[in-house]
């Protein structure tokens, strides 16, 4: 049976759902189409860490701030628990402290402060050899594997969004989608395929040199203490552009290359977040390929756990789970194109979709309805 909607969204990951939310807030009738029976991509494999502090200066940082606001707005109605708030960005080296001191002088440090080791309190239970930490209030953390299904269920129940699951979209034209379960008609279409770079508009991904990135993740047993905010450390300061683009990051990069070369080689940095049952989600690593292999290497996990031990001054608790995830990767925060009139192609290419999708979705939907033809590049 053919159906007609104001907007069709391809992809029920966080990016697709963010566009659906922005559209229903404008009163649009929306259908979300996904080939999987339930969310199974990057959006449920991530930390659920909505990171504002450290995002690239300017528009990405503003998108992240807006996205954190939207997560807070919808958490109650959608019954999504915000499990942690803020960030504890630990400095283990003087060079890391210098980066954080410089960061604190920028406009991005709104709501952030510096704490000496003695003042870290419950922010860092079980301290390793650290010099202090930047603390922020604006970031937050949700449990993605439940938050994404709840967000979809709320969009369906409270905003009458239709979900077509188990439906692969094979072709998109203005006003029409051909799927594995039939044709869907929609006045406007937003394609949010995550890291499927070959099914829809592959030439756009290829032209923008988009590839894929594989990450290794671990869940550790409850350590017996509680973290009010996610924890990161020096290695993150040379990855997150809000810090890494500061001139002070050069000295830190050089020291890390000398002391933690293997960590840098495998793109390892430390993020530690805590779930409601006390278990910790810990990661991650970064390996790039058009088709990354699906295997999690033990030596790479060992590098992640080594940084955990340095920061917390104790051996990591037992590993409960291991998994890998992949996301689309390219220079720049995201690929947003108008391949056809009334059609947008949107992929976050920087591994920050949980942190920025709501802000990005609002921008794309506003532009789609203001300039439906888009700019045909």
Ligand X SMILES: Cc1cc2nc3c(=O)[nH]c(=O)nc-3n(C[C@H](O)[C@H](O)[C@H](O)COP(=O)(O)OP(=O)(O)OC[C@H]3O[C@@H](n4cnc5c(N)ncnc54)[C@H](O)[C@@H]3O)c2cc1C
Positions that interact with ligand X (CB under 6 A): 10-16, 33-36, 39, 41-43, 45-47, 49, 51, 168-169, 192-196, 199-200, 215, 217, 284, 325-327, 347-348, 351-355
Structure tokens at 354: 């949980």
Residue with smaller CB distance to ligand X, 312 or 327: 327
Q: Please state the closest distance from residue 170 (CB atom) to ligand X, in A.
A: 7
Please state the separation of Cα 309 from the chain's center in Å.
25
Residue with smaller CB distance to ligand X, 39 or 138: 39
Q: Please state the closest distance from residue 254 (CB atom) to ligand X, in A.
A: 27
At how many degrees (to 10) do helices 14-24 and 144-159 cross? 30
Write the DSSP symbol of residue 203.
H
Q: Please state the closest distance from residue 138 (CB atom) to ligand X, in A.
A: 14
Residue with smaller CB distance to ligand X, 275 or 326: 326
Residue with smaller CB distance to ligand X, 127 or 279: 279
Burial 348-371 (b: 16+ CB within 10 A, else e): bbbbbbbbbbbbbbbbbbeebbee
Structure tokens at 20: 């659906």
Cβ atoms within 10 A of the Cβ of 27, count?
A: 8
Q: Please state the closest distance from residue 33 (CB atom) to ligand X, in A.
A: 6
Residue with smaller CB distance to ligand X, 66 or 93: 66
CA angle 231, 234, 236 (to 5 degrees): 70
Structure tokens at 78: 């959608």
Q: For residue 271, what is the enclosing H or E element?
A: strand 271-274
Residue with smaller CB distance to ligand X, 23 or 98: 23
By beta carbon distance, the residue nearest ligand X is: 13
Q: Please state the closest distance from residue 258 (CB atom) to ligand X, in A.
A: 28
H helices of the chain, in order, are: 14-24, 42-45, 59-78, 94-104, 144-159, 202-207, 234-237, 241-244, 249-259, 261-265, 298-312, 353-370
Residue with smaller CB distance to ligand X, 168 or 244: 168
Instruction: Compute the 3-state secondary structure of the chain and give helix, strand, coil in percent, each to the nearest 5.
Output: 35, 30, 35
Q: Please state the closest distance from residue 26 (CB atom) to ligand X, in A.
A: 20
Q: Please state the closest distance from residue 136 (CB atom) to ligand X, in A.
A: 15
């Amino acid at each position: 049976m053919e159906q007609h909607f104001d907007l069709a969204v391809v992809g029920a990951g966080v990016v697709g759902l963010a566009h659906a939310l922005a559209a229903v807030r404008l009163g649009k009738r929306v259908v979300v189409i996904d080939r999987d029976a339930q969310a199974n991509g990057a959006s449920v494999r991530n930390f659920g860490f909505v990171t504002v502090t450290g995002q690239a200066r300017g528009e990405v940082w503003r998108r992240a701030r807006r996205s954190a606001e939207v997560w807070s707005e919808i958490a109650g109605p959608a019954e999504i628990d915000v499990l942690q708030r803020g960030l504890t960005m630990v400095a283990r080296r003087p060079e890391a402290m210098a980066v954080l001191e410089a960061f604190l002088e920028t406009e991005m440090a709104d709501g952030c402060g510096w704490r000496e080791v003695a003042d870290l309190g419950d922010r860092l239970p079980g301290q390793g050899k650290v010099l202090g930490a930047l603390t922020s209030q604006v970031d937050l953390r949700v449990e993605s594997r439940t938050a994404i299904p709840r967000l979809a269920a709320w969009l369906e129940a409270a905003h009458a969004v239709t979900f077509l699951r188990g439906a692969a979209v094979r072709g998109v034209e203005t006003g029409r989608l051909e799927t594995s379960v039939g044709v869907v008609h929609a006045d406007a279409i937003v394609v949010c395929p995550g890291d499927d770079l070959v099914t829809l508009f592959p030439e756009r991904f290829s032209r923008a040199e988009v590839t894929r990135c594989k990450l290794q993740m671990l869940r550790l047993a409850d350590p017996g203490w509680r973290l009010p905010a996610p924890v990161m450390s020096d290695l993150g300061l040379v990855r997150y552009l809000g810090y890494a683009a500061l001139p002070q990051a050069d000295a830190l990069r050089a020291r890390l290359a000398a002391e933690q070369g293997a960590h840098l080689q495998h793109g390892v940095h430390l993020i530690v977040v805590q779930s409601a049952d006390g278990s910790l989600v810990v990661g991650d690593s970064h390996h790039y390929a058009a088709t990354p292999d699906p295997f999690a290497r033990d030596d790479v996990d060992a590098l992640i756990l080594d940084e955990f031990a340095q920061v917390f001054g104790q051996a990591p608790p037992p590993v409960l789970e291991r998994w890998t995830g992949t996301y689309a990767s390219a220079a720049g925060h995201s690929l947003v194109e108008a391949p056809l009139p009334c059609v947008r192609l949107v992929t976050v290419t920087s591994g920050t979709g949980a942190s920025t999708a709501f802000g990005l979705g609002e921008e794309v939907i506003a532009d789609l309805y203001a300039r439906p033809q888009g700019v045909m590049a």
